[in-house]
Structure 1
Amino acid sequence: MSAGVGATAAIGVRDHCGWAMLVAIAGGPGAPQVLRRERVSLLDDPALPDQPYHAAAGLPLDSARELIARVEQCARRSAHDALASAVHQLAQDGHDVAGIALDLGAVGAGRMTLPGELATVLSKHHYLHGAEGELYHEALVEAARCAGLAVSRYDFKELRGIAARQLGLGVVERVDGLRSQVGSPWTRDHKDAALAALLLLDGGSS
């Protein structure tokens, strides 16, 4: 599960509320190689809810804002620690990390903090999911920038089509087939992270 020393790597991230799957890839779309894969915590305090906007709905507004701020702070710290550890281990193995690839998500969805706007987010269920997703996206983006890494974002809902167009037919099947290289588990989260990392390595536009 390694490539030659000195190979440039990219880290693809498939994040969820409170955790993420990280996959580090080297090589090109014709022969991708998995350097690292791991599930990492984006919220290392078990006392905090991984869906803070849902938990804050129904609380007084000041209490809701305080709870969300605590989760944001913890998510930033956890994302920084997870990404720094992954980059350090890759560097120890002789790999330069070109950047990280994230889901585009609903950029800015529900992330409204001015007076009155948070109340609107908390009152509409579809805003809650967008706000929580973007909270973790922002934590990862900040962690990447602190580590000096480029950030590319892709629409993961369209990722397989984007990869096929930009990296060539057959790349999706090759990534799916990496299970034979790395063994189980090799889930859709792993595959999406790997495809996004390959797009970044290839210089694909976000």
Structure 2
Amino acid sequence: MSEEHGRRAGVATTALGVRDHCGWAVLVAIGGGAGAPELLLRERATSLDDPSLPGQPYHAAAGLDLDAAAELIARVEEAARTAAQDALSAAVHELAEAGHDVAGVALDLGAVGSGRMALPRVLTEVPAKHHYLHGAEGELYHEALQKAARCEGLAVSRYDFKEVRDTAARALGADVTARVDGLRARAGSPWTRDHKDAALAALLVLAGGAER
């Protein structure tokens, strides 16, 4: 999707925020800006559609030989990319049908972002520590979403879900979190912390305040 397309007269701009977990993700689209945020879309997307594959492939591969482990992880990576592509493509299409152009997507950093954890470069070293396994699982789905977003032509930003409330308050005003919290009154349930964090990250994208 080109920048010129997003600037067409009469087309409202929105941004997507995603808070993902191993095997599923919360996805929201926000428009209207920080002063009057509007919830345009709310989805719970599946990150892995193939029931024959494990949602935590690094855990499942821990007892396999190296070739079998690499093959299993590659299959899950491909399935996760397909699921992420389907989810983002469907969201962008639905928003476009409603007259909204997606400016970009915000993905959370996860366990390995912002210097919190460095994963080993060698696959055989990942099972050595339990927290490496969890970090590797999360990063697999992060990467799938990031590649899917770029295939859709969306600018990708990364946000820290642990700090997004403070970041948004500094960038967009102290009352922005209350406005996002208040969207539940109009949108109804579910409106969890995941939804709120994703919404704040989307508003930062709209304001140009999310870290690329």
Give TM-score, length-normalised by structure 1. 0.93
Number of positions where the alignment pairs a residue of Structure 1 with one of Structure 2: 198
Q: Tell me the CA shift for residue 109 of structure 1.
A: 4.2
Q: Aligned AA for 2:161?
A: F
5 Å-filtered alignment, 1:186-205, equals 186-205=191-210
| In 2: Cα distance, 1:72 partner to 1:49 partner | 11
SS at match of 1:157: coil
Distance 1:25 1:189 in 2: 14
* Equivalent AA in structure 2 for residue 57 of structure 1: A
Partner SS state of residue 162, structure 2: helix
Please say if residues 201 and 210 of structure 2, whose CA atoms lie closer than 8 Å, have aligned partners that are also in contact. Answer: no
> 5+ unaligned residues in a row in structure 1: which ranges?
none
CA deviations 1:141-177 (Å, max 9, x no partner) are 1111111000000111111111111111011111111
Q: How far apart are residue 92 of structure 1 and its match?
A: 0.6
CA distance in 2, matches of 1:41, 1:109: 26
| CA deviation string 1:115-139 (max 9, x = no partner) | xx11101221111111111111110
Alignment of 1:1-206 (within 5 A): 6-105=11-110, 106-107=112-113, 109-110=118-119, 112=121, 117-206=122-211
On the 8 A contact 1:109/1:131 being kept in 2, the answer is no
Shift of 1:110: 2.5
Question: 2:119 corresponds to which letter in structure 1?
Answer: G
The amino acid of 1:15's aligned partner reads: D
After superposition, what is the alpha-carbon deviation per residue over 1:77-97, rounded to whole angstroms, capped at 9, x for unaligned? 110011001000100111000
Q: Calculate percent identity across the aligned residue pairs.
A: 71
TM-score, L = length of structure 2: 0.90
Q: After the TM superposition, which parts of structure 1 deviate over 2 Å for at least 4 consecutive aligned residues? A: 107-112
Structure 2 residue ranges without an equivalent (≥5): 1-9
Following the alignment from structure 1 to structure 2, what is the Cα–Cα distance between the partners of residues 160 and 87? 25
Q: Could you tell me which amino acid in structure 1 is paired with residue 76 of structure 2?
A: V
Q: Partners in 2 of 1:198 and 1:109 — Cα distance? A: 29
Partner AA of 1:161 in structure 2 = D
Secondary structure at the aligned position of 2:190 is classed as coil
- Taking the aligned partners of 1:198 and 1:111, their CA distance within structure 2 comes to 34
